[in-house]
């Protein structure tokens, strides 16, 4: 039975194969076998898109591997194959911007269109590109042309205007942004600080008070209110606000720093110390605050604390030249001159051109009355750092102290070759010339000071007094000294010089008026008492003159022999009048 069934199946298969073969051959050209192709859409556009997709995939792969130039090239090839794809266009723009190819990005976005023809998103992108190119005006024009700006666009406009220094327009945009987002405290603080910068103190205070009302008491708000009061000149009110901030947060850094600065400006170093002790102990920037605290200990004459703290800081920063310098200052104040010398030398070894350390090393020798050693230090400075005007100025200063004015003049000339606009060097050069008797050359030097620093009080006083002492150019001398007094009308030295001009001009009453004001401010200067004696003698007040001359002698005036002769002459006159 099974064999019968197999036979039937084989017959059917053979019949089917024969039929299909006959049908197939009847439809074909004799002698050719047909080629069968898969059914596909063979359009050029489809092929291009497929190729673009391949390039895009390769670009992403190159980008993932950090091969940015290859990635950019394949993005370009992908976009060339499918320029209608917005995705490919945006990817290529992004790549151009990442590679700082702003011109290519602009060309790709705009083509031949004007800025007005761009849509909103394109305007934002192009404006961003203009910002990166530094074309702020173009960026502003684009942002301003966008109707119903988003908060982000308004904020961007504020940033651009602020960077351009147009604070009023920046404030307008920041205020619009803040009014839409009143909970953004940082923006409120930013607006407030810009108002302070434009001296709109009342508006700033009103803003901070509104923030306080809306958000409650906070150390940030109290501190900004305190700063506002400081800017408006109300230091006491500012301190009260800082105290309020510190009541909420006893270690609030900005309040502590600003409060300390107030006391430093007042030379109230002990109060400043208490602020910086908290900053040092509680801030993550403790070591930074420790440096300032060490100096405050020094200025408040808490030398032991300064020494201990600076030594602790140096264990963590042994190569810090400033810390060695500060410690040297402390040792010098404690009379530990050898220790001070070592620390200043360490500071110099770490930074050869550190002028302050060289000066203090010199001053150490000067305080020890060892001017030869001071000269050696100054010469070392010029050898090690010969291109420094400060080095040659220091050498000139030491030579002047030794009264070796020719050496001082040579050193100061060298300093001026290196920096012809240095006001301090010109001043010391003029002083050395004057002391060596070169009055006209000295006057030229002081005129250089006044050229670089118009109205310089010290130079005006020195030149004015030099001429008055010589009895020359008295009107010009009076004008110079008046300029000096306009800047500091309580300066005893300036008042003494002004009195001497009147004395030389024969106006004895005015001379007496100003010399007495000078004595009221400086009661330990032998020159002022010598001048007082001459003025009173000229008025015929021999008793007053005698007393003034004796004070000058007691204060060890330089011309003691001449003053003693005047004293003898007045005593003779008084005895004669007594008869």
Both structure tokens of 450: 């006044």
Residue that has been written with the tokens 């930013």 in this structure: 190
Written as six digits, the tokens of 129 are 């590109």
Are 230 and 262 within 8 A, CB to CB?
yes
Residues ≥6 apart with Cβ < 8 Å to 46: none
pLDDT score of 449: 97
Rounded to an integer, what distance in angstroms lies between the CA atom of residue 46 and that of residue 253? 66
Residues in CB range of 226: below 8 A, 6 or more apart: 237, 238, 239, 240, 241, 242, 244, 245, 255, 258
Compute the C-alpha angle 244/250/254, nearest 5°: 75
Q: What per-residue confidence (pLDDT) applies to 374?
A: 97
Going from the C-alpha of 345 to that of each of 291, 342, 355, 368, 480, the distances in angstroms are 19, 5, 12, 17, 42
pLDDT digits (tens, 9 = 90+) for 152-189: 888 888 988 998 899 999 999 999 999 988 888 899 99
Alpha helices, DSSP H, located in 200-336? 201-215, 219-231, 235-248, 253-265, 269-282, 286-299, 303-316, 321-333
Per-residue pLDDT of the chain (579 residues; tens, 9 = 90+): 434 333 333 444 333 433 333 333 333 444 443 444 444 455 677 888 888 888 888 888 888 888 888 888 988 898 888 888 888 888 888 888 888 888 888 888 888 888 888 888 888 888 888 888 888 888 888 888 888 888 888 888 898 899 889 999 999 999 999 998 888 889 999 999 999 999 999 999 999 999 999 889 999 999 999 999 999 999 999 999 999 999 999 999 999 999 999 999 999 999 999 999 999 999 888 889 999 999 999 999 999 999 999 999 999 999 999 999 999 999 999 999 999 999 999 999 999 999 999 999 999 999 999 999 999 999 999 999 999 999 999 999 999 999 999 999 999 999 999 999 999 999 999 999 999 999 999 999 999 999 999 999 999 999 999 999 999 999 999 999 999 999 999 999 999 999 999 999 999 999 999 999 999 999 999 999 999 999 999 999 999 999 999 999 999 988 889 999 999 999 998 888 764
DSSP 503-557: HHHT-HHHHHHHHHHHHHH-SS-HHHHHHHHHHHHHHT-HHHHHHHHHHHHHTT-
CA distance 350 to 321: 6
Residue 27 pLDDT: 39
Which of 145, 270, 208 minimizes the C-alpha distance to 137?
145
The CA distance from 128 to 118, in Å, is 14
The mean pLDDT value of the chain amounts to 89
The residues near 533 (Cβ < 8 Å, ≥ 6 apart) are 545, 546, 548, 549, 552, 563, 566
**Sequential DSSP letters for 109-153:** HHTT--GGGS-HHHHHHHHHHHHHTT-HHHHHHHHHTSSS--HHH
153 burial level (CB within 10 Å; 0-12, 13-18, 19+): buried
- CA distances to 95, 131, 338, 453, 552 from 444, rounded to whole Å, are 64, 51, 42, 14, 32
Long-range contacts of 376-382 (CB under 8 A, 24+ apart): 382/411
Residue 154 three-state SS: helix
pTM of the model: 0.69
Q: Are 74 and 59 in contact (CB under 8 A)?
A: yes
Distance separating alpha carbons of residues 1 and 8, to the nearest angstrom: 11
3-state secondary structure of 457: helix
Tokens matching residue 220: 């940030």
């Amino acid at each position: 039975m099974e064999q019968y069934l197999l036979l039937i199946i084989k017959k059917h298969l053979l019949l089917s194969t024969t039929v299909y073969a006959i049908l197939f051959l009847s439809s074909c050209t004799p002698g050719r076998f047909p080629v069968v192709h898969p059914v596909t859409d063979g359009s050029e556009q489809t092929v291009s898109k497929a190729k673009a997709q391949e390039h895009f995939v390769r670009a992403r792969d190159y980008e993932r591997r950090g091969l940015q130039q290859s990635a950019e090239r394949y993005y370009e090839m992908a976009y060339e194959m499918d320029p209608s794809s917005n995705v490919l266009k945006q990817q290529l723009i992004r790549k151009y911007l990442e590679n700082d190819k702003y011109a290519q990005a602009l060309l790709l976005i705009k083509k031949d269109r004007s800025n007005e023809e761009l849509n909103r998103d394109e305007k934002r992108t192009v404006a961003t590109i203009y910002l990166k190119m530094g074309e702020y005006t173009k960026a502003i024009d684009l942002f301003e042309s966008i109707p119903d700006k988003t908060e982000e666009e308004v904020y961007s406009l504020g940033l651009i205007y602020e960077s351009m220094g147009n604070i009023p327009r920046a404030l307008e945009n920041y205020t619009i942004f803040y009014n839409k987002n009143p909970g953004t405290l940082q923006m409120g603080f930013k607006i407030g600080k810009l108002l302070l910068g434009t001296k709109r103190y009342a508006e700033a205070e009103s803003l901070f008070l509104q923030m306080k009302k809306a958000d409650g008491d906070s150390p940030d708000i109290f501190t900004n209110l305190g700063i506002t009061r400081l800017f408006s000149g109300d230091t006491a009110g500012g301190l009260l606000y800082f105290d309020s901030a510190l009541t909420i947060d006893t270690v609030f850094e900005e309040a502590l720093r600003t409060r300390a600065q107030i006391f430093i400006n007042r030379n109230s170093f002990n109060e400043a110390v208490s602020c910086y002790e908290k900053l040092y102990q509680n801030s993550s920037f403790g070591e930074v605050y420790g440096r300032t605290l060490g100096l405050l200990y020094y200025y408040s004459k808490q030398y032991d604390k300064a020494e201990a703290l600076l030594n602790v800081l140096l264990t963590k920063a042994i190569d810090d030249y400033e810390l060695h310098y500060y410690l040297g200052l402390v040792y010098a104040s404690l009379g530990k001159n050898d220790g001070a010398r070592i620390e200043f030398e360490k500071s110099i070894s770490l930074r050869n051109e550190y002028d302050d350390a060289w000066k203090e090393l010199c001053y150490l020798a000067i305080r020890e009355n060892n001017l030869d050693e001071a000269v050696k230090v100054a010469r070392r400075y010029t050898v090690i750092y010969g291109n420094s005007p400060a080095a040659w100025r220091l050498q000139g200063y030491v030579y002047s102290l030794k009264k070796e004015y020719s050496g001082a003049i040579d050193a100061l000339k060298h300093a001026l070759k290196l920096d012809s606009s240095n006001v301090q060097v010109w001043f010391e050069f003029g002083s050395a010339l004057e002391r060596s008797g070169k009055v006209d050359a000295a006057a030229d030097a002081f005129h250089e000071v006044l050229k670089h620093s118009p109205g310089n009080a010290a130079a005006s006083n020195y030149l004015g007094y030099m001429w008055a002492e010589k009895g020359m150019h008295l009107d010009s001398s009076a004008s110079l000294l008046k300029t000096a007094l306009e800047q500091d009308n309580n300066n005893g030295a300036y008042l003494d010089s002004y009195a001497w001009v009147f004395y030389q001009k024969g106006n004895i009453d005015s001379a007496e008026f100003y010399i007495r004001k000078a004595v009221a401010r400086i009661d330990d200067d032998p020159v002022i008492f010598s001048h007082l004696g001459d003025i009173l003698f000229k008025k015929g007040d021999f008793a007053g003159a005698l007393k003034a001359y004796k004070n000058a002698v007691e204060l060890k005036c330089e011309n003691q022999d001449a003053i003693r002769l005047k004293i003898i002459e007045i005593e003779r006159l008084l005895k004669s009048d007594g008869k």
